[in-house]
């Protein structure tokens, strides 16, 4: 299989699928495309051939069959690799994990908008200002903290449902956002954030992102240059 992704430094959606595949040792080839949406760019030329949405990530089988959207990719991998507990084995835990993924997929708009993923930079001053001024951001983080804490209390951790799974890969970019912007969370949520950042698949993704050293102005609301 091939996984088409964007810049590792910025692409939270790509991170979810890339970390999930790596965490379970599922073999794949990575095809990284620099974010460049101009008509004649490599991005436009290549991604148009593999995804009708022209967005990443896209998982492509050897015969050309493609799966796009991170939730669909997680479900496809779970179907293809039942030997791995990509979702919790318990039916209720599995439903809750899917609920949390879907909530993240569609929700937390303020956290996404004002705290975009940017792995190579720490913005504690920006985060402190946003936290003081933005009630919607505080509400998003409070809901995130409550959801994590409830799951962790039920499972005992270290990940949301005990062992690492799709739902944890889904929240890996959120752990990056919280750490880079220095947003305050409860002790239990902070321990989970740190466990995510210390997972080998997440550490590898972060290391690759740090090596990119590519500046994409459209994804940089707080910097003018590297």
pTM for this one? 0.96
pLDDT at 44: 87
User: Taking the domains of the chain in order of start, what are their residue ranges?
Assistant: 2-84, 91-206
Nearest to 197 by CA among 153, 158, 161: 158
* pLDDT computed for residue 40 by the predictor: 87
- Tell whether domain 91-206 is in CATH 1.20.1050.10: yes
Percentage of the chain beyond pLDDT 70 is 100
- Of the pLDDT bands very low, low, confident and very high (cuts 50, 70, 90), residue 157 is very high
- pLDDT attached to residue 129: 98
Q: Which of 11, 39, 17 is nearest to 212 (CA)?
A: 11
* Mean pLDDT computed over every residue of the chain: 96
* Confidence band, pLDDT 50/70/90 cuts, at residue 205: very high
Q: Would the CATH topology of 2-84 be identical to that of 91-206?
A: no
Q: Which CATH class is domain 2-84?
A: alpha beta
Task: Give the span between the Cα atoms of 208 and 15, in whole angstroms.
Answer: 11
- Could you report the per-residue pLDDT of 25-78, keeping only the tens digit for each? 999 999 999 998 888 899 889 988 999 988 999 999 999 999 999 999 999 999
Better-predicted residue by pLDDT, 201 or 35: 201
pLDDT for 39: 87
pLDDT for 60: 97
Spatial distance between the Cα atoms of 94 and 90, rounded to a whole number of angstroms: 6
């Amino acid at each position: 299989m091939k996984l088409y992704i964007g810049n590792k430094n910025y692409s939270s959606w790509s991170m979810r699928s890339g970390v999930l595949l790596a965490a379970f040792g599922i073999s794949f080839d990575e095809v990284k495309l620099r974010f460049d949406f101009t008509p004649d760019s490599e991005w436009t030329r290549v991604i148009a051939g593999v995804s009708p949405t022209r967005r990443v990530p896209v998982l492509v089988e050897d015969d050309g069959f493609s799966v796009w959207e991170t939730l669909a990719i997680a479900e496809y991998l779970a179907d293809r690799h039942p030997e791995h507990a990509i979702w919790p084995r318990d039916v209720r835990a599995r439903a809750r994990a899917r609920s949390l993924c879907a909530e993240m997929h569609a929700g937390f708009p303020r956290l996404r908008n004002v705290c975009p993923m940017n792995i190579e930079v720490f913005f504690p001053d920006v985060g402190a200002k946003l936290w003081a001024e933005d009630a919607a951001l505080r509400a998003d983080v409070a809901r995130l903290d409550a959801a994590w804490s409830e799951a962790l209390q039920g499972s005992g951790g270290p990940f949301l449902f005990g062992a690492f799974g799709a739902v944890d890969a889904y929240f890996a970019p959120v752990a990056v956002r919280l750490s880079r912007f220095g947003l305050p969370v409860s002790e239990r949520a902070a321990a989970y954030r740190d466990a995510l950042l210390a997972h080998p698949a997440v550490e590898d993704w972060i290391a690759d992102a740090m090596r990119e050293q590519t500046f994409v102005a459209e994804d940089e609301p707080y910097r003018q240059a590297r």
